[in-house]
Amino acid sequence: MPRWGMVIDLLKCIGCYGCQMSCKAEHATPPGVTLARVEVSETGTYPNVTRVNLPLLCMQCNNPPCESVCPTKATQQRADGIVWVDEEKCIGCKYCMIACPYGARYFVEDTNAYFGDQGLTPYETAGYAHHRPGVVQKCDYCRHRLDDGMAKGLVPGVDREATPACVINCMAKARFFGDLDDPTSEVSQLVARAQAFQLNPEFGTDPNTHYLPAGRSIVPVDPKDVTDGKR
Amino acid sequence: MRSIVPQSVWRWQIAAYLFLAGAGAGAVIVSVVGDFLGYAVAAKIALGFGVPAVAFSTLFLISDLGHPEKFFTAVLHPSTSWISRGVFILSGLIVSGGLVILLWVWPFGAVLDANQSLRAALEVITFIFAVATCTYTGILIGVIISRPFWNNPLLPILFLVSAVSTGIGGVFLFAPVASSVLGIAPGATAEFVKRLESADLILLVVEALAIYLYLALVFDRAPEAAGLLLKGELSGLFWGGFLGVGLIVPVAIELSAVVTHQAASQSLATLVAGASLLIGGFLMRLLILAAGIRSPLMVRTPFRVRPGF
């Protein structure tokens, strides 16, 4: 069984919001819901300042705090590590939104139109059929793309059709996707780098989404550095 | 730079639940202790306010759900979820407290009077559920490690002290009404209300101390949240509303009542004290909820910008 993971290279990310838009296009999410998003901030003191583009999505934690707080077991973790919400079971108590350290969850009150009085566009009508109002939504690594792709014999992270939308649409190629349990996969080799990090590891969530820092020299992955795929 | 905005996932509906369930459970605690001390009539009045208040408070919880019609499925994960555990605690208090009330009512009234050990057992069970109702909410939000303003062992204690205090406030307001409706002589509750005033004075001092310790503890761990509360968007409600109306006003009224030994139960001042206690209790929960913002996400950047570049 694979364990899906993502690596986001902050050095390559140019803050174009392409992941955010491709996610909205893939899932037809209502206004205010950005399952993938980019948070931009500035850091440092003049004149030593920099802009940090932080692309965010569900970290697909190995110890998901959203799962343990869910009172109805609507939030579940698959054997491949993907954390998802069974919308039939969710009662919309929003405790998971309180518990998620990464702000990766959204409560969909109702599916509003983007264009107000003009009503839903044909695209919205088709897309909103998948959204149940009154439940909490989250990124699930585009599990429909992974599952459908693998059913056709494709490899997630390698074949576009079986890879999350935000990854294949990243024009800077800053996002990598693959099996963290396979030490030869691209993501495993990137995670094996000493500089790779998880967001706020002190929360004990052990995310499957990893980052490479923005400030570093560009060094190609040396296979000698890769031992068993784990750091 | 973006300004820090308050927590907005759980809003006033949850604060109203926390407040009303706390006040109701606090009144139940007051009732059981009062009955133990021999104030049987007054204890019934406190219980008559407390149990319905707790039952009513759950409506706020249910109305905040995205799918209120399926609220009963919230019991499915008691092994780890404090919402599931809370449903059991609330149900326990409503059932056991409701049973005590039911056994007062004719023709069951004789049952409890004839069987004092049954009465004591029921009251102890109700008392335990009431304490659990006041404290579990502090654990519910206190276990969220990524919200350091709540992640604090003092929170359940603070909620418990405030719950008993707001329960007393509820009794202050409810006692005159209950006396006139049930035809109880006002003098029957006057002594109880007077004792409650001095007890609440102690509780308020403890609460002020707990608030101070709480803020001292979170000041380093959650500087953004503390700033939001003490000098940011929430500061007006905190200083003027919670500390001013909710703490200083009742302390002043109760202090003067205790000092002057006046029979304060019939006075307007007791009603004002009760109202300000309830306002303060609601504001405290609203403010604590709103200040529970997430820790900032830390991007590890060994970033070096060339000086002057």
Q: Which amino acid is at A65?
A: P
Q: Looking at beta carbons, which residues of chain B come within 8 Å of A65?
A: 144-146
What pLDDT sits at residue B27?
Answer: 97
Handedness of CA B230, B233, B234, B237 (dihedral sign): positive
Of B189, B159, B178, nearest to B34 by C-alpha is B189
DSSP state of B27: H
Size (chain B), residues: 309
- Decide if A172 is inside a domain: yes
A17 touches chain B (CB under 8 A): no
B261 touches chain A (CB under 8 A): no
What 3-state DSSP class applies to A178?
strand
β pairing state of A175-179 and A4-9: antiparallel
Say if residue B290's pLDDT is above 80: yes
Q: Looking at beta carbons, which residues of chain B come within 8 Å of A52?
A: 299, 301
pLDDT-based confidence at residue B309 (cuts at 50, 70, 90): very low
With CB atoms and an 8 Å threshold, state whether A93 touches B145: no
**In B37-115, which residue ranges form alpha helices assigned H by DSSP?**
40-63, 82-104, 109-114
With CB atoms and an 8 Å threshold, state whether B77 touches A73: yes
What pLDDT sits at residue B203?
Answer: 96
What pLDDT sits at residue B107?
Answer: 64
How many domains would you assign to chain A? 1
With CB atoms and an 8 Å threshold, state whether A200 touches B295: yes
- Decide if A112 is inside a domain: yes
Taking only residues 91 to 150 of chain A, the set having a beta carbon closer than 8 angstroms to any beta carbon of chain B reads 91-95, 97-103, 107-109, 133-136
Say if residue B67's pLDDT is above 90: yes
- Decide if A76 is inside a domain: yes
Task: Quote ipTM for the complex.
Answer: 0.91
Q: In terms of pLDDT, which residue wins out, B178 or B21?
A: B21
**In A30-114, which residue ranges form alpha helices assigned H by DSSP?**
65-69, 95-99
Domain range enclosing A60? 4-216
What pLDDT sits at residue B303?
Answer: 47
* B301: closest CA of chain A, how far (Å): 5
- Decide if A222 is inside a domain: no
- Decide if A38 is inside a domain: yes
Q: Looking at beta carbons, which residues of chain A come within 8 Å of B2?
A: 41
- Decide if A85 is inside a domain: yes
Backbone angles phi, psi at A138, to 5 degrees: -155, 165
What pLDDT sits at residue B119?
Answer: 84
Report d(CA B157, CA B62) in Å as an integer. 25
Instruction: Give the orientation angle of helix B40-63 with respect to helix B82-104, to 10 degrees.
Output: 140
Which among A48, A73, A213 has the least Cβ separation from residue B307?
A48
What 3-state DSSP class applies to A83?
strand
- Decide if A227 is inside a domain: no
- Decide if A230 is inside a domain: no
* A53: closest CA of chain B, how far (Å): 10
* B216: closest CA of chain A, how far (Å): 22
pLDDT in tens, A186-221: 999 999 987 899 999 999 999 999 999 887 655 555
Identify the segments of chain A with pLDDT beneath 70. Answer: 216-231
pLDDT-based confidence at residue B260 (cuts at 50, 70, 90): confident
CATH of the domain at A184: 3.30.70.20
Could you tell me the domains of chain B? 12-291 (1.20.1630.10)
With CB atoms and an 8 Å threshold, state whether B71 touches A133: no
| Predicted structure pTM score | 0.91
* A105: closest CA of chain B, how far (Å): 10
- The answer to whether the beta carbons of residues A131 and A111 sit under 8 Å apart is yes
Chain-wide mean pLDDT for chain B? 89
- The answer to whether the beta carbons of residues B29 and B167 sit under 8 Å apart is yes
**Percentage of the residues of chain B whose pLDDT score is greater than 70:** 93
Of B142, B133, B186, nearest to B160 by C-alpha is B133
Q: In terms of pLDDT, which residue wins out, B300 or B31?
A: B31
